[in-house]
Structure 1
Amino acid sequence: MTQQHTVWVLGNGQLGAMLSHAGQPLAIDVRPVDIMSPTGKTLPIEASHVITAEREQWPESSTSLQLSEHAHFINGPVFGRLADRFTQKSLLDELKVATSPWQLVDDNVTEAELHQAYGERVLLKRRTGGYDGKGQHWLKQADNIEIPASWRNEAIAEQAINFDEEVSLVGVRTQDGRCLFYPLTLNLHQDGILMASIAPLSRLSHLQAEAEAMLSTIMNGLDYVGVMAMECFRVGEHLLVNELAPRVHNSGHWTQAGCHISQFELHLRALCDLPIHQPQVNFQCVMVNLIGIDKDDRWLSLPNAELFWYNKEVRPGRKVGHLNLSVHNVDALNDTIAQLKQWMPEQYQAPLDWINAEFK
């Protein structure tokens, strides 16, 4: 008899919605839960159900406790460990996975000591809560910028890395310990927010083995199950880990169009212990994040585009959707980019030019 699978998701944002969508063809009942506005009602969670999360942190409530304290909350201890940059960086050092030099900003460290250790520009990152460029503070020696008093013991200091470009690797670890990966993804950030991704790229293939070894070490070290994303800096011919995300990730959205198993389906298969094999790439894909702009139905006229609209209130800097553009034909992609340049606002001109440059 076929087992019926139910997966509850801590959080009901766009990642939870896309997990739910991915579960439907497999008859997996995915139930995202709004933990920001708990009802106080007890959820009908059964012993056999599985719990996951679409975010690393959440407010404590009766609802979140019922989910996070369930016996089948997969990767439960991992979320808090990776949500705190201090413990995340400590893990990378412990596992001997390359990352930028760093230290805790405690009560005693001075700006001069940080500049002596890491150079004229030092990046402070709050230990928790920062995303999309938030929670960061630059110490610039030339400007005599100081450590904010409230950031002591609540932030780490990192050496500024003069990286060549940003890439990410999305992989999965099964319940029996196998690790499988998508190709490396090239990413462009603007003001700390991911604007566009391209995958796969043959020019990055020589870095694939190093990236897979790094993420395998991390997932095995955590006894992790499911999809994890590793964001990296490429410095010359090697990688440095910037951040880890113990969940499906924005830079893996291209897999919805470009692969026969998306990152969302792959995550659910791992959680439910369903068969998993190496994801096949059907074609190259470009993902364009839709940030703080209104929905434009003209996007639907693009023959190589798939629109994912999150139905969220549009606010500046907020991710409200994404476009996946298939690259069956470079000329067709260039036509699409030219059309988007006409339709999209100023902040999109540089990212669209960046995409064009990669396909010249």
Structure 2
Amino acid sequence: MSTIWVLGAGQLGAMLKQAATPLGLNVRPVDIESDEILNLASNDIVTAEREEWPTTKATEQLATHKNFVNLNTFPQLADRLTQKQWLDRLNLATAPWFPIKQDSSSEHCYSTLGERVLLKRRRGGYDGKGQFWLKQDEATEIPEDWKGHAIAEQAINFDEEVSLVGVRGKNGESYFYPLTLNLHINGILYASIAPLHRLNHLQSKAEAMLSKLMEALDYVGVMAMECFRLGDDLLINELAPRVHNSGHWTQAGASVNQFENHIRAVAGLPLAPAEVKNLSLMVNLIGVPVNYDWLSTEGIELYWYKKSVRPGRKVGHINMCSGDTTKLNKALTKLDAQLPEPYQEAIKWLKANLPE
């Protein structure tokens, strides 16, 4: 049986391996810093849990394998310049933007995009990193070392942040999970909730947007699309050509989670719509030590990544799935007392978005 190699051995790689085990598939995540000589067979399959990686002996072997699924997609979407160009080319709505060049000025940013402009590094940057705000009332200037290496985006006064996770097979068939409502604090995802009936009217619009992109790229596997909701309109904020944090709730709330769907797709196995079991909540564990007392709460499903704990680092997540909102409310109240700031904001937000 062929091996599915995952370029990257973080939590996403570990969860891909876990999801493949019941299918009898051999998945092997590989550390991006490894200089190991890998025993790759010609019929093996390669996928990735990340958009970019350094050149090492291990990554070079994987990145040159003939069965690296979506190899050409990663550089297109990892660079925010080419990602935005793809969205514009396909007439997919996104925030007004332009590239920051060597001769770009903050005055041009303000006159073109408004008094608040977000600079994003073209490569790297996640969880709020690689971003810089230009504010006209503070006379903020473009950092010199950002010129030629960033894009400028208009600040969007959005109503909410939502995401769509979809999967596309080798034969072109696509399936989608319900839209997920997300809360970011300081640029980091803290909580998600899905499905919500009040977002149903946006589902077909979001699916059409992500389908158009996946088909244009001939993409195979799971892709996530993060959007701003402005009334009944969606603006694409970021794209991730991989399994995504905002889809972690599917581990508890769907018959086939995003990780299994990705493995099925890249391995060429049959895809089918996932049955959504009930309302699901996800709480990211960020910079907090493991507390196994969490498990004393009915319905809690803990995923601990076995990482060293440091501020701002995602070290695990908690899932809950139930049709009983009273039970979910009680679980959130208990979690509220077990987690430090700023989790009070995240718990309050989750409670406020529980259906009545």
TM-score (normalised: structure 2): 0.99
**Distance (whole Å) between structure 1 residues aligned to residue 243 and residue 341 of structure 2:** 29
**Distance (whole Å) between structure 1 residues aligned to residue 5 and residue 341 of structure 2:** 40
Correspondence list, 1:1-360, <5 A: 4-36=1-33, 38-39=34-35, 41-359=36-354, 360=356
**Distance (whole Å) between structure 1 residues aligned to residue 322 and residue 286 of structure 2:** 22
Given that residues 280 and 321 in structure 2 are in contact (C-alpha distance below 8 angstroms), is that contact kept between their aligned partners in structure 1? yes
Given that residues 5 and 272 in structure 1 are in contact (C-alpha distance below 8 angstroms), is that contact kept between their aligned partners in structure 2? no
| Structure 1 segments (4+ residues) deviating >4 Å | none
**Distance (whole Å) between structure 2 residues aligned to residue 185 and residue 58 of structure 1:** 28
Given that residues 181 and 193 in structure 2 are in contact (C-alpha distance below 8 angstroms), is that contact kept between their aligned partners in structure 1? yes
**Distance (whole Å) between structure 2 residues aligned to residue 327 and residue 260 of structure 1:** 14
Given that residues 93 and 235 in structure 2 are in contact (C-alpha distance below 8 angstroms), is that contact kept between their aligned partners in structure 1? yes
Residue 225 of structure 2 aligns with an amino acid whose one-letter code is: M
**Distance (whole Å) between structure 1 residues aligned to residue 205 and residue 10 of structure 2:** 33
How far residue 327 of structure 1 moved from its aligned partner, in angstroms, is 2.3
**Distance (whole Å) between structure 2 residues aligned to residue 146 and residue 307 of structure 1:** 44
**Distance (whole Å) between structure 1 residues aligned to residue 127 and residue 75 of structure 2:** 19
Residue 13 of structure 2 aligns with an amino acid whose one-letter code is: G
Given that residues 172 and 180 in structure 1 are in contact (C-alpha distance below 8 angstroms), is that contact kept between their aligned partners in structure 2? yes
How far residue 222 of structure 1 moved from its aligned partner, in angstroms, is 0.3
How far residue 195 of structure 1 moved from its aligned partner, in angstroms, is 0.2
**Distance (whole Å) between structure 1 residues aligned to residue 229 and residue 185 of structure 2:** 17
**Distance (whole Å) between structure 2 residues aligned to residue 286 and residue 72 of structure 1:** 36
SS at match of 2:333: helix
**Distance (whole Å) between structure 2 residues aligned to residue 140 and residue 253 of structure 1:** 35
**Distance (whole Å) between structure 2 residues aligned to residue 136 and residue 203 of structure 1:** 31
SS at match of 1:346: coil
Given that residues 7 and 51 in structure 1 are in contact (C-alpha distance below 8 angstroms), is that contact kept between their aligned partners in structure 2? yes
Cα RMSD after superposing both structures = 0.7
Please list every run of 5 or more consecutive structure 1 residues that lacks an aligned counterpart in the other structure: none
Q: Percent identity among equivalent residues?
A: 56
User: What whole-Å deviation, never above 9, does each CA across 1:74-99 have from its counterpart, x for those lacking one?
Assistant: 00011111110000000100111100
Residue 302 of structure 2 aligns with an amino acid whose one-letter code is: L
SS at match of 1:76: coil
**Distance (whole Å) between structure 1 residues aligned to residue 199 and residue 286 of structure 2:** 27
TM-score (normalised: structure 1): 0.98
SS at match of 2:127: coil
**Distance (whole Å) between structure 2 residues aligned to residue 128 and residue 291 of structure 1:** 23
**Distance (whole Å) between structure 2 residues aligned to residue 5 and residue 324 of structure 1:** 32
How far residue 283 of structure 1 moved from its aligned partner, in angstroms, is 1.1
Distance 1:259 1:351, change over 3 A: same
How far residue 328 of structure 1 moved from its aligned partner, in angstroms, is 2.5
User: What whole-Å deviation, never above 9, does each CA across 1:36-83 have from its counterpart, x for those lacking one?
Assistant: 2x13x3201101110000000100112111001100000001111111
Please list every run of 5 or more consecutive structure 2 residues that lacks an aligned counterpart in the other structure: none
How far residue 5 of structure 1 moved from its aligned partner, in angstroms, is 3.9
Given that residues 5 and 27 in structure 1 are in contact (C-alpha distance below 8 angstroms), is that contact kept between their aligned partners in structure 2? no
